[in-house]
Amino acid sequence: MKYLMTITYDGKNYNGFQRQNDKPTIQSEVEHALEILLKEKIEIIGSGRTDAKVSAYKQTINFETDKQIDKDKFIYSMNGILQNDIKVLDIIQSNIHARFTEKKKTYLYKMYISEFAHPLYKDRLTISKNIDIKAMKKFLKMIKGTHDFIGFKSAGSEVNSTVRTIYNAKLIKTNSKLDFYITGNGFLYKMVRNIVGTMLKVGEYKLDLKELKQTIFKTYKSTYTAPSEYLYLYDIKYLKK
Amino acid sequence: MKYLMTITYDGKNYNGFQRQNDKPTIQSEVEHALEILLKEKIEIIGSGRTDAKVSAYKQTINFETDKQIDKDKFIYSMNGILQNDIKVLDIIQSNIHARFTEKKKTYLYKMYISEFAHPLYKDRLTISKNIDIKAMKKFLKMIKGTHDFIGFKSAGSEVNSTVRTIYNAKLIKTNSKLDFYITGNGFLYKMVRNIVGTMLKVGEYKLDLKELKQTIFKTYKSTYTAPSEYLYLYDIKYLKK
């Protein structure tokens, strides 16, 4: 039977999602817990790989087993076996492929507007009070739609196509908290962090919007990848069942 | 000159506000930073003492010095000297007494409704899905106003009167987040945590509301002090200038 499991994790102490030798990763922790519970070797496939320190409100994962799984018992047992940093939210029997089934994926990047790193907002990137949020919003309008995002891809992973569709990209300011949500059909390696980096440079007047508009999907190359620890995989919605 | 300084802190790694020998406290850290900056021994008076692990979005503090303080420079320098866990938000010259001037003080207690401790809400107390929020709100109606809160005071500090006024007490639910705000003219030792503890027992049906109504300001004695690390001093408003 093929299962689709939803998990959440605080990635601060992990070397990313993908299994690596000798380093703690989300994949190795989850596979280890599944092996203890199901008493067989299990390999999982995630909806995508989150980088070192990236967290997830929701991450979806496939695995296969011949064993019948009782949802409530399974969640309860897995959450007893797993570390405090990783928990199972849901599990269903499903033919959805976590990675390849068409989906809408949303990331959240957390920022805080302050002249110093605020003690009670350590999970947010500190942003200057002088930042131009209107300019940042203009940049976000530019990236919506289907474009070649090669300028926002960091070296390090090979893909067939660098064209992606951004369904939505918005900034929500609540007092000094600034939340950036971006929804797309998929993201290139470090693409969200390069979009955040470019957005912040626009907000700090280090990039001219008019000039950027000419080059963005042609010769532009992002030079600032925003730090990973403030990035959260926020939601995944599969478009077929 | 007498100054009123506003600070914020993450109290998780501190043994409370009040200075103690050999243990890190907010008072000793702030006094130490003031001494470095002003080059004289400074004693501070807080609006009140927060317990070990309690944090503050806003805490007000008095100190005296003959030195003239330039607000922007002072804040910038203090925040450079202080640890990451404590920062200065504001400073004004003022005759307000941080502790004795009449005020409205607000505490926030953070909870999260979940069957397990959620990795991304470690700063919140985990509350069962079965909790009766309506019953908890009925209890909050009972405590509003001026009453003798002796049943909500933990042993360990002597006060002249155990009568306090609660201006407001409310629960705000946002998805699974549950925030409890309580505003009063002052709080007895561990009073907020005993109110939260009683409220949770009411929500779990371990205390009968009708019975509690008969005894609450008479023979009732709180037996559950909610954990300190989810408590935040949220706001302080002085009623005179």
- The confidence score (pLDDT) of residue A241 equals 61
Query: Alpha-carbon distance A94 to A78, whole Å?
Result: 19
What local confidence, expressed as pLDDT, does residue B191 receive? 96
A104 burial via Cβ count (<10 Å: 0-12, 13-18, 19+): middle
Residue A57 to chain B, least CA–CA distance (Å) = 7
Rounded to an integer, the average pLDDT of B101-117 is 97
Residue B159 pLDDT grade (very low, low, confident, very high; cuts 50, 70, 90)? confident
Residue of A10, A83, A120, A123 to mutate, interface with B, max B Cβ within 10 Å: A120
Count other C-beta atoms under 10 Å from residue A118's C-beta. 20
Tracing tokens 């925030």 back to the chain, one arrives at B179
A171 near A179, Cβ under 8 Å? yes
Q: How many whole angstroms separate alpha carbon B56 and alpha carbon B10? A: 7
Judge whether A120 is closer than 8 Å to chain B, CB to CB.
yes
Which residue, among A61, A218, A226, has the nearest Cα to A154 in the 3D structure?
Answer: A226
Check whether B240 has a pLDDT greater than 90. no
Which amino acid is present at A97?
H
Chain B residue numbers touching A119 (CB-CB < 8 A) = 8-10, 55, 84-87
End-to-end CA distance of chain A: 16
Mean pLDDT of B158-182: 95
User: What pLDDT score does B160 carry?
Assistant: 83
CA distance B84 to chain A (A): 6
Residue B78: half-sphere exposure toward Cβ, Cα within 13 Å = 25
- Nearest residue, CB atoms, A120 vs list B10, B76, B122: B10
Chain-centroid distance, C-alpha A230? 10
What DSSP line would sit under A147-190, residue for residue? EE-GGGPPSS---S--EEEEEEEEEEEETTEEEEEEEES---TT
Q: SS3 sequence, B79-128?
A: HHHCCCCEEEEEEEECCCCCCCCCEEEEEEEEEEECCCCCCCCCCCEEEC
Q: What is the CB neighbour count within 10 angstroms for residue A131?
A: 18
Say what the pLDDT of residue A156 is: 74
- B14 in Cβ contact with B83 (< 8 Å): no
Q: What is the DSSP letter of B20?
A: B
Of B191, B201, B151, which Cα lies nearest the Cα of B169? B191
Q: What is the pLDDT of residues B134-145, one digit of tens each?
A: 999 999 999 999
Closest by Cα among B125, B102, B110, B107 to B187: B107
Q: Percentage helix, strand, coil, to 5, in chain A? A: 25, 30, 40
- B111 pLDDT above the threshold of 90: yes
Q: How far apart are the first and last CA of chain B?
A: 16
Residues whose CB falls within 8 Å of the CB of residue B47, separated by 6 or more in sequence, listed in order? B59, B60, B61, B98, B99, B103, B105, B236
Q: Which amino acid is at A127?
A: I
A8 contact residues in B (CB cutoff 8 A): 118-120
Position B24 pLDDT exceeds 80: yes
Q: Which residue has the tokens 């009411």?
A: B202
Residue B138: what residue type? K
Separation between Cα atoms, residue B232 and residue B50, nearest integer Å? 9
Percent of chain B with pLDDT over 70: 100
> CB-based contact (8 Å) between A175 and chain B?
no
**Residue B4 to residue B19: CA distance in whole angstroms:** 19
Q: Does B162 touch chain A (CB under 8 A)?
A: no
Would you say A236 and A104 are in contact if contact means Cβ atoms under 8 Å apart?
yes
- Sort out which chain B residues have CB atoms less than 8 A from A85's CB and list them: 119
Of B161, B8, B181, the C-alpha closest to B83 is B8
Spatial distance between the Cα atoms of A1 and A131, rounded to a whole number of angstroms: 51
Residue B241, pLDDT score: 61
Full pLDDT tens readout for chain A, 241 residues? 999 999 999 999 999 999 998 899 999 999 999 999 999 999 999 999 899 999 999 999 999 999 999 999 999 999 999 999 999 999 999 999 999 999 999 999 999 999 999 999 999 999 999 999 999 999 999 999 999 999 999 887 777 899 999 999 999 999 999 999 999 999 999 999 999 999 999 999 999 999 999 999 999 999 999 999 999 999 999 997 6
* Cβ–Cβ under 8 Å, residues A8 and A99: no
Tokens read off for B189 = 């030792």
